[in-house]
Amino acid sequence: MGTILWTLWNFDILAGNAVFSCSTARVNFRLFRLSLLAAAMPLVAAADIKLPDAAAPTEAAAKPTLPPAAITPVTATPPAAAPVVPVPGPSAAVPASSEPPLEIRRAIAVDEKAPVVSPPVSKIVFTRCEVPAPVIAITFDDGPNPDHTPRLLDMLKARNIKATFFMVGRCVVTWPHIVKRIADEGHEVANHSWSHPLLTSLGNTSLDSQLQKTHDAIIKACGKAPLHYRPPYGAIGMSQRKRIHEKLGYSTILWDVDPLDWKTPRNSKKVEDRILANTKSGSIILTHDIHGTTVDAMPATLDALIARGYQFATVSQLIELERETASTVVATAPAPVPLTPEPTIPVVPMSTLPPETVAPAQPAKAVSVDE
Q: Which residues are catalytic?
A: 141, 288
Quick one: residue 31, left, alpha or beta (phi over 0 = left, psi -120 to 50 = alpha)?
alpha
Least distance in Å: CB of 279 to Ni ion?
20
Helices 149-158, 292-307: inter-axial angle, 10-degree rounding = 10
Contact pattern from residue 218 through residue 247 relative to Ni ion, giving x for each residue in contact according to CB under 5 A and a dash for the rest: --------------x---------------
Least distance in Å: CB of 237 to Ni ion?
17
Question: Measured from the CB atom, is 46 or 297 closer to Ni ion?
Answer: 46
Q: What CA–CA distance (Å, rounded) separates 195 from 236?
A: 15
Least distance in Å: CB of 218 to Ni ion?
15
Nearest Cα neighbor of 30 from 90, 110, 100 is: 110
Quote the Cα angle for 333-336-339, to 5°. Answer: 160
Q: Are the C-beta atoms of 228 and 248 separated by less than 8 Å? A: no
Total residues contacting Ni ion (rule CB under 5 A)?
4
Does position 142 interact with Ni ion (CB under 5 A)? The reply is: yes
Least distance in Å: CB of 256 to Ni ion?
16
Does position 141 interact with Ni ion (CB under 5 A)? The reply is: yes
Least distance in Å: CB of 49 to Ni ion?
7
Question: Measured from the CB atom, is 12 or 141 closer to Ni ion?
Answer: 141
Instruction: Please spell the DSSP secondary structure of 56-94, one letter per residue.
Output: SPPHHHHGGGS-GGGS--TTTSTGGGS-PPPPPPTT-PP
11 CB-near residues (< 8 Å, 6+ apart)? 33
Contact pattern from residue 83 through residue 122 relative to Ni ion, giving x for each residue in contact according to CB under 5 A and a dash for the rest: ----------------------------------------
Does position 258 interact with Ni ion (CB under 5 A)? The reply is: no
Which residue is at the shortest CB distance from Ni ion?
A: 46
In Å, what is the CA distance from 268 to each residue of 119, 260, 289, 294? 43, 11, 13, 6
Question: Measured from the CB atom, is 46 or 313 closer to Ni ion?
Answer: 46
Contact pattern from residue 176 through residue 195 relative to Ni ion, giving x for each residue in contact according to CB under 5 A and a dash for the rest: --------------------
Question: Measured from the CB atom, is 144 or 232 closer to Ni ion?
Answer: 232
Candidates 32-40, 41-49, 153-161, 335-343: pick the segment binding Ni ion (CB under 5 A): 41-49
Q: What CA–CA distance (Å, rounded) separates 237 from 110?
A: 30
Nearest Cα neighbor of 141 from 28, 254, 37 is: 254
Least distance in Å: CB of 21 to Ni ion?
30
Least distance in Å: CB of 46 to Ni ion?
4
Instruction: Please spell the DSSP secondary structure of 124-164, one letter per residue.
Output: -EESB---SSSEEEEEEES---TTTHHHHHHHHHHTT---E
Question: Measured from the CB atom, is 9 or 262 closer to Ni ion?
Answer: 262
Question: Measured from the CB atom, is 106 or 263 closer to Ni ion?
Answer: 263
Strand 188-191, strand 164-167: pairing:
parallel
Candidates 3-11, 140-148, 247-255, 335-343: pick the segment binding Ni ion (CB under 5 A): 140-148
Q: Taking CB under 5 A as the criterion, which residues in 43-82 touch Ni ion?
A: 46
Nearest Cα neighbor of 330 from 79, 92, 125, 1 is: 92
Helices 315-332, 23-40: inter-axial angle, 10-degree rounding = 50
Interface contacts to Ni ion, rule CB under 5 A: 46, 141-142, 232
